[in-house]
Every structure is written in C-alpha cells, then in structure tokens.
Amino acid sequence: MRTRALLLDAAVESLSEVGYAHASTADISDRAGVTRGAFLHHFHTRTELFAQTIEHLTARQRDAVQRGADTVSATTPPADALVALVSSMTAGELGRASVELYVAVRHDDDLRQQMLRVQHDLTHEVLAMATELIGARTSPDRLQGAFWMTINLVRGTIVDDMLGRNPAHRKEMLARWTDLAAVALAES
C-alpha cells in the first residue's frame, strides 16, 4: 500500500504543479520514486490512476478540513470560522489539484460523476461542521448562503492563483470576503 499512496500523492503534486494535461504516468512515477512496472502494478491506465486520485485528494481535503476545524473555537467569529473551514480544504496543492480535476473531468462522464459524488459528500460534511461550530449564532439560511458563496469565492481565488496572480491577492480577497460574510451571517 505504501507504493500506491506514494503514487497518489505524486499524482496530486503533479496535478498541482504541471496540470492534468501534463501529468503523465512517467512524471508521476518519477515523483513517487517508483518504476513504471510498480506504477502498472497498481494502476493499469492513467484514467484508473486519476479515478483513484479523486478519492485520495478528497480524503486529504477531509483531513485538512478536520485540522482547520480543530483551530476554530467557540469564540471564533462565525465568518472567520466559515472562511477558515472552506479555505482549509482548498489550500495550496489540494486546491490547485482539485481545480485541475474539475476541468479535466468535464468531458469524461465516469470521472465527472465520481468527482461530483465525492466533492458533494465533502462539501456537505464541511457544511455540517460549519453548522455545528457556528450554526447556533446565525440562521440556517444565512449560513448556507454564506457557505456556498465562500466555496465559490475560494475556488475563484484558486484559479486566480493558477493564472499567476500575486498570492497576496488571495489573502486580501479572503480577508475582504470574511468582512462581507460577517454581514451576511449577522441576524437582521
């Protein structure tokens, strides 16, 4: 299983650094430090690799969200907690790899259905965490609206980053959104 995990981590890294179009099986094998034969022992095709990468990436995102949730306390302002949770699942290579896969699976029905299923489950788990952490301090409608806007804003900042925007811009956008989310979450 160690070789398989190395290959899956290497696939996420490759997606993040060179993109889906250039994430070759040779590159991924090299990044994992394994032979082509070891690769083929675990994955017979590139498509099979990326099908498993979707699951692996989602598991890593789930772990990142849990770590993010561990940093949120009962005194953390609701908007700060919400942005921290959502940002944790899309930070760094996890976010870039997920955006690469969103684009890549657009024309592959099987991979798209798999991606939609696992990402749907993950986002609903994150929404449940947000509800548990801050739901008593805002209405369900406000929380859901702010949550989905945060998901979409964070994805947009990942694309900005991938296109070469200064990383400080992402931090600035998240800070501005946190201020706006505080208003969106406030009871009127």
Provide the whole-model pTM.
Answer: 0.91
- Rounded Cα distance, 160 and 188, in Å: 33
- Greater confidence (15 vs 169) lies with 15
Query: pLDDT by residue (tens digit) across 73-83?
Result: 889 999 999 99
At 77, which CATH number? 1.10.357
**Considering the domain boundaries, does residue 30 fall inside one?**
no
Q: How many domains does the chain have?
A: 1
Query: pLDDT by residue (tens digit) across 46-86?
Result: 999 999 999 999 999 999 999 999 999 889 999 999 999 99
Kindly report the number of other CB atoms within 10 A of residue 106's CB atom: 11
Helices (DSSP H) in the chain: which residue ranges? 2-18, 25-32, 36-42, 46-70, 78-89, 92-104, 109-134, 140-162, 167-185
Return phi, psi of residue 32, to 5°: -80, -15
Query: pLDDT by residue (tens digit) across 27-37?
Result: 999 999 999 99
**Considering the domain boundaries, does residue 97 fall inside one?**
yes
Structure tokens at 50: 């990326």
